[in-house]
Structure 1
Amino acid sequence: MASEEFARSAPIGVFDSGLGGLSVLQHIRQTLPHEALLYVADSSFAPYGDKTSAEILERSIAVTDFLLSKNIKALVVACNTATAAAIKHLRQYYPDLIIVGMEPGLKPASLLSKTKKVGVLATLSTIQSEKYQHLSTKLSADTGVEFIPQACVGLVDQIEKAEASADQTRLLLAKYLNPLLTAQVDTLVLGCTHYPFVARLIQELTSAHIPGGEPITLIDTGKAVASQMQRLLVEHDLVNTSSDIPRINAYTNGSPEKLKLACTQWIDIPEDKLSVSTFSN
């Protein structure tokens, strides 16, 4: 019985190349408020979007090994790029570990689009991945929806700079959004976990392009990831039965000050519920 309780109280590990995965962590906190959470920002190797698949897999294994050393009971790959490049291999390497990755968001977008044109904002690595190419081609054939990918080079870096001016971010987003709006997309997939942090700016820029029209629909799959984790914990009898709200332990090989700022200001984690440390993997 004691070992079962220990397993249930073990933490869920969540990782991303930087701060973007905090958007997923926020959904997990809301869905599973009594679960202990460990977050890793692999910031020294960010962004993953300009790395090769082999490099992304190497980092994903290193971070997963670090989280396993902290006795996690489940893992969330809170990065679209790492999910596309590495999750299949991670499931082979760690067959006994519950692993949940990011959903591409293409299917729900295809069901919502009225113009049958869906824009996909993502990293170049995600767009070029076999997983994205296969899914977008299949869904296009099945639904008649045209998926228009837009690689947002530099946007992750811009979002990571918490002190960067909104003007710089605005200019970069406008550059990537304009061709999609010209193509008359009515739905946008946020294909990177960093992008929900600029969702309000995306809505502002797209509404200015179509004054009086219906707002662009944004697809953020973080909530679906949290729901999938909840389902799997129930299935494996690993839901934490404690009524306590545990502290969140966050780790980075970059700036702990920046990670702390993002946790407290971007997703409103109280300082007394947060511990930020460094790791060297």
Structure 2
Amino acid sequence: MSDTAPILFFDSGVGGLSVVAPTRALLPGAPIVYAADSAGFPYGTRSEAEIAARVPALLGRLVERYRPRLVVIACNTASTIALPAVRAALDVPVVGTVPAIKPAALLSRTRVIGVLGTEATVRQPYVDDLAARFAGDCIVLRHGSAALVTLAEAKLAGDVPDAGAVRRELDGLFSQEHGARLDVIVNACTHFPLLEAELAAVAPPGLRFVDGGPGIARRIAFLTEGQEWPAGVPRDVLVFTRLGEAERRLAAALRFARVEAL
């Protein structure tokens, strides 16, 4: 394999940058292609059938163009719906992103945890299975939020998130029965760690948030152990499936070396 072969990260938007950051900390020399399906954004309000058809097709085109050594689906919604189909379709290793329910259950003292994700993610049977396997003695509350996805995208473009809007989304968990006992919340959307400061500012004292980013980064490092990386500073590529005004504004804020349209 060429030492210039990148790691390909894929998400509906820029939420997967919360996975790129810990990966870059472990693998500073790794070239990265970050692909955002801006034409399909947001996935959380789309049907399972749409996502199951769209994601493998897009990743097939991306792999053909960029020839990555590894693909990371840095999106909980896409992973919980399309991961098996993607792995069957591609001939490169594929790492998925799933809600961090197991570490949340290990941390919880009250045995009440929350899963904060997109509407599509929180209703998946995959989440039922994770809860049954790793949090069987916990009450698992769920709330799907499209608003937090939009707020995270806007924040990276330079806007200041509205604290009241963030608080209202958390209230979707706290207002449920047993919600007052919540002590750990799973950020089950890669966009949500981008709002870490804003979420913490409106959360009750002592509440903890967990996400899968650091664990995914360790998995990527394990799968690429011993591989060669190019010398010098990586020239990362940002790819959009639709490159309009909003995407150009984001690209200017994120400062990738190259910006391309698929």
Partner of 1:14 in structure 2? 9
Q: Which amino acid aligns with 1:80?
A: N
Partner of 1:175 in structure 2? 168
Task: Tell me by how many angstroms 1:257 deviates.
Answer: 1.7
Q: Which amino acid aligns with 1:32?
A: L
Which stretch shifts more, 36-45 or 23-32? 23-32
Q: Which amino acid aligns with 2:138?
A: V
Q: Which amino acid aligns with 1:251?
A: V
Partner of 2:107 in structure 1? 112
* C-alpha contact 1:40 1:63 (8 A) present in aligned 2: no
Partner of 2:190 in structure 1? 193
Task: Tell me by how many angstroms 1:137 deviates.
Answer: 2.5
Q: Which amino acid aligns with 1:107?
A: K
Aligned residues: 252
Task: Tell me by how many angstroms 1:205 deviates.
Answer: 0.4
Partner of 1:56 in structure 2? 51
Partner of 1:275 in structure 2? 258
Structure 1 gaps, min length 5: 265-270
In 2, Cα distance between the equivalents of 1:97 and 1:43?
A: 24
Q: Aligned to 2:143, which of 150, 153, 165? A: 150
Counterpart secondary structure, 1:43: coil
| CA spacing shift, 1:75–1:229, aligned 2, 3 Å | same
* C-alpha contact 1:15 1:63 (8 A) present in aligned 2: no
Counterpart secondary structure, 1:33: coil
Q: Which amino acid aligns with 2:11?
A: D
In 2, Cα distance between the equivalents of 1:227 and 1:29?
A: 11
Counterpart secondary structure, 2:39: helix
Partner of 1:203 in structure 2? 200
Q: Aligned to 2:67, which of 71, 89, 92? A: 71
The ranges of structure 1 where at least 4 consecutive aligned residues each deviate by more than 4 angstroms after the TM superposition are none
Partner of 2:131 in structure 1? 136
Task: Tell me by how many angstroms 1:262 deviates.
Answer: 4.3
In 1, Cα distance between the equivalents of 2:258 and 2:172?
A: 42
In 2, Cα distance between the equivalents of 1:241 and 1:150?
A: 41
Does 2:39 match 1:44?
yes
Q: Aligned to 1:245, which of 233, 239, 245? A: 233
Does 2:215 match 1:219?
no
In 2, Cα distance between the equivalents of 1:228 and 1:24?
A: 11
In 1, Cα distance between the equivalents of 2:253 and 2:78?
A: 21
RMSD over aligned Cα atoms: 1.8
Instruction: Report the TM-score when normalising by structure 1.
Output: 0.84
Task: Tell me by how many angstroms 1:164 deviates.
Answer: 4.5
Task: Tell me by how many angstroms 1:172 deviates.
Answer: 2.5
Q: Which has the higher helix share?
A: 1
* C-alpha contact 1:103 1:225 (8 A) present in aligned 2: no
Q: Which amino acid aligns with 1:83?
A: S
In 1, Cα distance between the equivalents of 2:211 and 2:253?
A: 19
* Larger CA Rg, structure 1 vs 2: 1
Task: Tell me by how many angstroms 1:165 deviates.
Answer: 4.4
- Residue deviations 1:119-148 (CA, integer Å, cap 9, x gap): 11101111111211111133332xx12111
Instruction: Report the TM-score when normalising by structure 2.
Output: 0.89
* C-alpha contact 2:148 2:169 (8 A) present in aligned 1: no
